[in-house]
Amino acid sequence: MPKRKPEKSIDENDVRIDGRKLNELRPVKIEVGVLGNADGSAYIEQGKNKILAAVYGPKEVHPRHLALPDRALLRCRYHMAPFSVEERKSPAPSRREVELSKVIREALEPSVFVEYYPQTSVDIFIEVLQADGGTRCAGITVASLALADAGIPMRDLVVACAAGKAEGRLLVDLTDLEDKGGEADVPLALMPNLNAITLLQMDGGLTIDEFEKVVNLAIDGCRSLYSIQKETLKSKYIAVKEAVEE
Amino acid sequence: MSSLPMIVRVKQKRIAELISSGMRLDGRGLTDYREVKLEVGLIERAEGSARMRLGKTEVMVGTKIEVGQPFPDVPNEGVLTVNAELVPLASPSFEPGPPDENSIELARIVDRGIRESKAIELEKLCIEPGKKVFVVFIDIYVLNHDGNLIDASAMAALAALLNTKMFNYEVESGEIKVKPGYTPLPIRNFPIAVTFAKINDKLVVDPWLEEEQVMETRLTITMDKDGKICAMQKGGHGYFTLQQVLEAVKIAREKTEELRKLVVKG
Amino acid sequence: MSLFYERKQLVTPGDLLAEGDYIAGENTYRDNNKIYASRVGLVDYDARKVHVVALKAFYVPSVGDTVIGKIVEVGTGGWTVDINAPYLAMLRASDVLDRPFKPQTSDLPSIFDVGDLIIAKIVAYDRTRDPLLTVREPGLGKIMRGQLVKITPTKIPRVIGRSGSMISMIKKETACQITIGQNGLILISGKTPEDERLAVMALHKIEEESHTSGLTDRVTEMIKKEKEGVEHAQKEA
C-alpha cells in the first residue's frame, strides 16, 4: 500500500501525537477466556487496536487428508472485520491477510509442542475488530494467550511488538499514522525465555546500525508486553485464591 | 501447499552433518551462491523481460505497462503491482489454482524490495495528476523450483525492470497519443534479496531444494545500492536468535553487492 | 542444582523452574540443563522430579482410564465415540456382541445409537491409532439417566480428593450416585433434581477453586448452607 503524505506526528521534544515518548508502548488491556465455545480465547486492546483470538483443538483434522503423520497441523487465519478500518474493507481475504496469516502461524508454531499430537489440527483465529497499526503483533500476542488458555503445551509464550523510524526518530509501537508516514517498520515476535525471534519483517529504509537499534527497541517492547501476558494468565487464578483463602 | 516429496532421511542427516562442519552437499561454502545465468529481453510482447537461472531454479519475469488510475492518496505517482505464479510445471508440489500463501508471500517480498527502495521513479509515471498514470505490472513466473525462489525472483524482477521500455507519448485533448520511440523505465535503485537458511544452527545462503526441506527456518534480507536494508522476511516454523539475525545482515551486505554486479551491468 | 519457585506457586509456559539434574515431570520440558513449564499451573517438586499441576488442559487418553463418552457415529463394525479428547475413540461391535456378528443383520443402533452416553474403559491407545474402548466390565455400558458435568480433566484428582475424601463427602451430603470419567466428564444421578443441583454446584466450585487450600471444608460448608437454605425456604412455603 502506498504511504500517505506524512503529517507531522512527533514534535521537537520527541513527544508523539498521542503524548507518548519514543520508547513508550500504547496502553494495553488483555483478557483471557472470553469466548464460551472456543477451547481457548483471549482479547487485547492496545491503543485503538481491538483484537480477538480463539483456538480450537487439538482435534481431528478436517479434511482428513491434510493430517500430518507425526505432528499436529497448525492453521491460522488472520482476518480484519470490514468495519475495522477507516475505509470499509471487503470481507474477502486480501493478499495482505493471506501473507499475515502465514507469518503469524510461523511465529506461533515454534512455541507449540506439535509433536505431542500427531494427526490432529490446532486452529487459530485472529479477528481484528478495530485496527490502528501493529495488528499482526497484537494478534500474535493475543493468539499465544489463547493457545495457553486452551491448555495446549508450549515452550514459551510468544509476544510481539513493532518498532521503526518516523520523522527521523527511532520509535516503538507505531500507530497506523506513524507507520504510513514513517521511514521504516519492523514487526518482531519473540519467545522471551528462549531468546528466539519467531517473526521478523521489515519494510522501509534503515542503515545496518539503525536496524540493530530498532530491533532492540522492538525486543524491549516485547519483554514489557510479556510481563503483562503472564500476569493476565495468572490473574484469574490469583483473584480466586485471594478471595477464598482470606 | 501440498507437501514436497519426502527427502530420504539418510540424505537429510548427511546434509545437516556436512553443514555443521562448514560444507554443503554440492561442494559450496556456506556463503556461496549457485551459478547465476541471466538473459533479458526474450519476450518481445512484454515491455521488459528476464530469465534467471540460479543453479537449476529457473524464474522468468515479464513486465507490462498499462495506463490506469493512481491511488487516491498519491495522485501524482504511477502504480506498481507484483504478482507471482508457481506454475504446476515447475514442481511436483505445485498445484493449479488461485495463488496460495507461498506465491502471495513471494510476490509481496519482491514487491517490498522494489517499492521500499523506491527503485522505480514512480513520480515520473504520472500522465494526468489524479486521473491517469502508468501502471507497471511485474509478473513472476516460476519455471523450475530447485530452491530459493525468492532471490531468483527478486533478481529476475530487477533485471526485467532494467530491460523495460515504455512507449513515448503525448497528451492531446485528454487523449494519449503514442509517438515513435521508446524510453527506458526510470530506475534509480537496485534492490537485491539474500536468503539464508538455518540448518543445525548454522546459516547458509541460497538454499537449494533439498536444503530447504531440511532447514528449520529462513531469513530474507533485501538491501539497496547504498547498503540500506529495505525489506526483511523471516519464514518457516523455526526461529533465529538476535545474534544470528545480525550476522546474517553482515553477510547480506557483502552478498547483495556481489549479486548486484551480475544484474546491473554498466 | 537450583529451583526457582516455591512449591504450589503459579507458573506460566516458559517459566524457568529448575536447573540441574532434575527429571522433567508432567507439564514441563527439558532444554539442556534447564526445566521449563509448558502449561499454566502450580509447580511442585520432590527430590528428583519437577512437575506442574496444570490448571487447564485437555484429556489425553490413557490405557486403563474409565471415561464417559458420547456416540457420534454408528458404523458397520462398531461405534465412534467422542471422549472429549483430541482423538475420537472406537468401540468395536465385537466387544459388545458375544457371538461373531454379521454386519448386515446386526442392529448396532439398537445397542448404542448416536447421541447415547456410555461409560467405558480405554483398553488400547498409542500415538498411531485412535483409542480403543471396552464396555465389557461390570459398571460399564449405556447411561440411562443422570446429569453430565464437564470439568477440566486435570482437576479430577481434586474432585476425588485424598483417599477419596472429597467425592465421598459429596456423595454423602447429596445422596447422589456419582461416576467420574478420567476425561473430565462426571455423571450425577440423584433421587431428586435438587440433590443433583447441589452436587453440580459442588463440582463447579471445585473447578473454580482447585488451586486453593482448605477446599474440602469450604465445599462441605457450601453444601450444608445450601441445604439449610432450601429447607428454610420449604418451611416458609
B113–chain A nearest CA distance, Å: 8
Amino acid of residue A177: L
User: Is C88 within 8 Å of C120 (Cβ atoms)?
Assistant: no
- Average pLDDT of chain B to the nearest whole number: 93
The verdict on a CB contact (< 8 Å) between B234 and A95 is no
- Note the pLDDT tens digit of each residue in A203-239: 999 999 999 999 999 999 999 999 999 999 999 888 8
Helix (H, G, I), strand (E, B), or coil: what is residue C234?
A: helix
Confidence of residue C85 (pLDDT cuts 50, 70, 90): very high
The verdict on a CB contact (< 8 Å) between B229 and A208 is yes
The interface pTM score, or ipTM, of the predicted complex is 0.91
What residue ranges do the domains of chain A occupy?
Answer: 28-245
* Fold category of A28-245 in CATH: Ribosomal Protein S5; domain 2 (3.30.230)
- Note the pLDDT tens digit of each residue in A17-72: 999 999 999 999 999 999 989 999 999 999 999 999 999 999 999 898 999 989 99
pTM of the full predicted structure? Answer: 0.92
Quick one: pLDDT at residue B264? 93
B183–chain A nearest CA distance, Å: 25
Quick one: pLDDT at residue B2? 37
- A58 prior amide bond cis, ω within 30: yes
Closest CA relative to residue A120, chosen from A74, A54, A78, A55 = A74
3-state secondary structure B204-240: EECCCHHHHHHCCEEEEEEECCCCCEEEEEEECCCCE
> Is the Cβ of A222 closer than 8 Å to some Cβ of chain B?
no
A164–chain B nearest CA distance, Å: 12
Higher pLDDT, B252 or C99: B252
Using CA coordinates, name the residue in chain A closest to C89: A60
Domains of chain C: 7-54 (2.40.50.100), 66-142 (2.40.50.140), 147-236 (3.30.1370.10)
Q: Which chain C residues have any C-beta within 8 angstroms of a chain A C-beta?
A: 10, 12-16, 27, 29, 31, 36, 38-40, 54-58, 86-88, 127-128, 152, 154, 208-209, 211-214, 218
B110 — phi, psi (to 5°)? -65, -40
User: Is A60 within 8 Å of A68 (Cβ atoms)?
Assistant: no
- Note the pLDDT tens digit of each residue in A109-166: 999 999 999 999 999 999 999 999 999 999 999 999 999 999 999 999 999 999 999 9
Closest CA relative to residue A78, chosen from A140, A120, A144 = A140
Touch between chain B and chain C (3+ CB pairs, < 8 Å)? no
User: Is C158 within 8 Å of C206 (Cβ atoms)?
Assistant: yes
Among A106, A205, A212, the residue with its CB nearest the CB of B246 is A212
Using CA coordinates, name the residue in chain A closest to C54: A151
Using CA coordinates, name the residue in chain A closest to B99: A95
> Is the Cβ of A193 closer than 8 Å to some Cβ of chain C?
yes
Is the pLDDT at A246 greater than 70? The verdict is: no
Query: C212 contacts in A (CB within 8 Å)?
Result: 240-241, 244-245
Residue where the block lists cell 445409537:
C113
> How many CB pairs below 8 Å do chains A and C form together?
89
Quick one: pLDDT at residue B56? 96
Overall CATH class of domain B25-263: alpha beta
Confidence of residue B6 (pLDDT cuts 50, 70, 90): low
Among A101, A205, A216, the residue with its CB nearest the CB of B116 is A205
Query: C127 contacts in A (CB within 8 Å)?
Result: 118
The verdict on a CB contact (< 8 Å) between A207 and B227 is yes
Using CA coordinates, name the residue in chain C closest to A57: C86
The verdict on a CB contact (< 8 Å) between B245 and A215 is yes
Among A58, A156, A244, the residue with its CB nearest the CB of C14 is A156
Question: What's the half-sphere exposure (Cβ side, CA atoms, 13 Å) at B226?
Answer: 10
Query: B217 contacts in A (CB within 8 Å)?
Result: 106
Rounded to the nearest 10 degrees, what angle do helices C193-209 and C165-174 cross at? Answer: 150
Amino acid of residue C187: L
- A63 prior amide bond cis, ω within 30: yes
Using CA coordinates, name the residue in chain B closest to A199: B234
Using CA coordinates, name the residue in chain B closest to A1: B71
Beta bridge partners of B187: B120
Touch between chain A and chain C (3+ CB pairs, < 8 Å)? yes
A164 — phi, psi (to 5°)? -175, -155
Query: A245 contacts in C (CB within 8 Å)?
Result: 212-214
What chains are in contact with C, requiring at least 3 Cβ pairs below 8 Å?
A
How far is residue A118's CA from residue A61's CA, in Å, rounded to a whole number?
Answer: 10
> Is the Cβ of B112 closer than 8 Å to some Cβ of chain A?
yes
Using CA coordinates, name the residue in chain B closest to A97: B101
How far is residue C121's CA from residue C133's CA, in Å, rounded to a whole number?
Answer: 5
- Note the pLDDT tens digit of each residue in B156-212: 999 999 999 998 888 888 788 888 989 999 999 999 999 999 999 999 999 999 999
